[in-house]
Structure 1
Amino acid sequence: MTFFSGLLESRYAAQHKTNAEELSKSELVECATNQINSCKVGGTFDDAYTYTVKDGLLSEQEYPYRNGDGNVESCKRVDFGFNETLVKPVNFTIGERSYLMSGNPEEIKNLLYQYGPMFAHVNAALLGESKNFDIIRKDDVKCYPSNDSPDENNRINHGVVLVGYGVENDVPYWIIRNSWGTEYGKDGYHRMERGSNTCGIERCAILMFTN
């Protein structure tokens, strides 16, 4: 769920050519889903998108992060009755149907080049094992590029921000930003093989536009 605030920050900065204010992560974890264990099992793009379209999203300063221990507090907006004197919305909202989806790696690359950061789904198991910036290759990992796996651990289950691409030693790759902190990958960034739908990264990338 926390990937969405990072995506929205990146999209706003790219679209408006400015520095975006850091947005609340805990608001999404606590308010955008009814899952009691949402901090542990995560939320979906649809949960975060629907919530933000309706209510906007507060800044990190106004609704600071408080879920580091894996526990989910009650929604601050609900508890205290949201009003402008308590916490006011910042200028980060998205309009309905303000996104494009693609499962074509060449089209994804072109959209990324033209518009900037995008959202993508992956299987998260391999990211927890990646402690460097080596390219994660399709043949090196065991995960399904769809939700057809009989094993839930192999299914697409995590959202990341797609921020760039390149080629190294004839291997094309994507650059993704994860939301687990800087101890994973290289300062929180990973590279995944491009053009092979490694662990589902090219199954459905989403480009979102902010107001």
Structure 2
Amino acid sequence: MEKLAFVISMLVVGTIGMCGAEDVEAAWEKYLTEFPIGIQTKAEYGKRKLNFEKIHAIIEEHNADENATYTMAHNQFSIMDSEERKQYLLKNFASTKSLYEELGLETVEDNDDSTMRQLPPSIDYRKDKCMQPVKNQGGCGSCSAFAATAVVEFANCIKNGKSVSLSEQQIVDCDFPDRECGGGSYHEYWKSLIKAGGQATSAAYPYISGETRKRGSACLNKPKGAKLAARKPIVALKERDEMGVMKLLSQKKLVAVCIAVTDKFMNYKTGVYTTPCKGDEGLHAIVAVGYGTFKGIKYWAIRNSWSAGYGNGGYVLFQRGINLCGVERDLATVNVA
């Protein structure tokens, strides 16, 4: 009887394992339909499928958690290994910790309780007429260039009444060109745009993911779509100044932020992202475009630069008020001419 029970139990386990394998295979076939990977060698195909299976297990486990505050889904990152994912993150980033102390830079102050009471309970610029469509940095660590540009685009439109797409490629080529796709800091880039006399339009200087054109006079001679203000062009906030960010957003200014990135973040889909970081993750520059509360959790509405296919139309709701993954550490925005 004991032997028979053992055989039956093994058959049950085997059946469950086969069903699980069938589920993964069906998910893989669906993924290939939605995200074609093109012609691959047998070895490359096997590698991609193995990467997919690993993230698929994480997604299934996470989405099955009744206490999860957000959902995950497959996207372009599902078939990438850790080294490939790092290509989308920063290799160079200087903290804004001392930025607000620099001469000539404006800071947000007087953030007392009365100010908080005057702020609206929620703000969301994702569908504002001045918000450019979500862009795609591609396999290049140029997220700071995209964050810096999104802030300038929005500010320029709010002040001058015309929505103009600006050139991230100008930043990649001309500001710290030795870094190429290694990235940099948005406040460094804004300073370089001041020296360059402004930022070119995307039409005049289009983006080429993963490539850097030769540095030269061409970097500075493209038609400019926006210029930073002559007086107090950069607005810097102290670390953890949640109310300062909310105040700036209420003034129709987007705020660049930098976070540490987990694999779960890279496969985020909907809801409020709340997963803590371990401290050894890569950094990624993004933009706060609003704030609010969902099911009792305070959040920032964040604009990403991984295409509209990422998250919810290219955006993510990110837990607010606890400096999750450093989101309230490096805070800055601009004034434009």
Q: TM-score normalized by structure 2?
A: 0.52
Is the aligned partner of 1:50 residue 2:194? no
Is the aligned partner of 1:115 residue 2:252? yes
Q: Where does residue 12 of structure 1 map in the other structure?
A: 156
CA deviation profile, 1:23-53 (whole Å, cap 9, x unmatched)? 01111111111334x32x2221133112111
Supply the distance in 2 between the matched residues of 1:94 and 1:175 (Cα, whole angstroms).
26
CA contact (8 A) 2:174 2:219 kept: no
Alignment of 1:42-121 (within 5 A): 42-55=183-196, 56-67=198-209, 70-75=210-215, 78=216, 80=218, 82-83=220-221, 87-95=222-230, 97-102=232-237, 103=239, 104-121=241-258
Q: Where does residue 148 of structure 1 map in the other structure?
A: none
Which structure has more RCO (C-alpha within 8 Å, separation ≥ 6)? 1
Q: Where does residue 136 of structure 1 map in the other structure?
A: 273
Dislocated runs of 4+, deviation >6 Å: none
Give, in angstroms, the shift of residue 115 of structure 1.
Answer: 3.2
Give, in angstroms, the shift of residue 96 of structure 1.
Answer: 5.7
Supply the distance in 2 between the matched residues of 1:92 and 1:129 (Cα, whole angstroms).
33
Aligned equivalent of 1:159, options 285, 308, 319: 285
Residues paired across the two proteins, number: 190
CA contact (8 A) 1:161 1:177 kept: yes
Is the aligned partner of 1:35 residue 2:178? yes
CA contact (8 A) 2:169 2:207 kept: yes
Give, in angstroms, the shift of residue 6 of structure 1.
Answer: 1.4
The two structures, once aligned, show a CA RMSD in angstroms of 2.2
Give, in angstroms, the shift of residue 79 of structure 1.
Answer: 5.6
Describe the shift of the 1:113–1:126 C-alpha distance in structure 2 as closer, same or farther (beyond 3 A). farther
Structure 1 alignment gaps of length 5 or more: 145-150
Structure whose residues are more often helix by fraction: 2
CA contact (8 A) 2:300 2:320 kept: yes
CA deviation profile, 1:126-178 (whole Å, cap 9, x unmatched)? 575233122111xx23244xxxxxx3x35xx2221110001011101000101
Which has the higher Rg, Structure 1 or Structure 2?
Answer: 2
Describe the SS at the equivalent of 1:97. Answer: coil
Describe the shift of the 1:129–1:209 C-alpha distance in structure 2 as closer, same or farther (beyond 3 A). same
Structure 2 alignment gaps of length 5 or more: 1-144
Supply the distance in 2 between the matched residues of 1:14 and 1:88 (Cα, whole angstroms).
20
Quick one: percent identity of the two aligned structures? Answer: 23
Describe the shift of the 1:110–1:81 C-alpha distance in structure 2 as closer, same or farther (beyond 3 A). closer
CA contact (8 A) 1:127 1:185 kept: no
Describe the shift of the 1:116–1:47 C-alpha distance in structure 2 as closer, same or farther (beyond 3 A). closer
Describe the shift of the 1:29–1:134 C-alpha distance in structure 2 as closer, same or farther (beyond 3 A). same
CA contact (8 A) 1:5 1:25 kept: yes
Supply the distance in 2 between the matched residues of 1:169 and 1:193 (Cα, whole angstroms).
12
Describe the shift of the 1:124–1:95 C-alpha distance in structure 2 as closer, same or farther (beyond 3 A). farther
CA deviation profile, 1:184-211 (whole Å, cap 9, x unmatched)? 1111111110111111111132131101
Describe the SS at the equivalent of 1:19. Answer: coil
CA contact (8 A) 1:53 1:96 kept: no
Supply the distance in 2 between the matched residues of 1:129 and 1:81 (Cα, whole angstroms).
32
Give, in angstroms, the shift of residue 180 of structure 1.
Answer: 1.7
CA contact (8 A) 1:2 1:26 kept: no
CA contact (8 A) 2:267 2:311 kept: yes
Describe the shift of the 1:109–1:46 C-alpha distance in structure 2 as closer, same or farther (beyond 3 A). closer
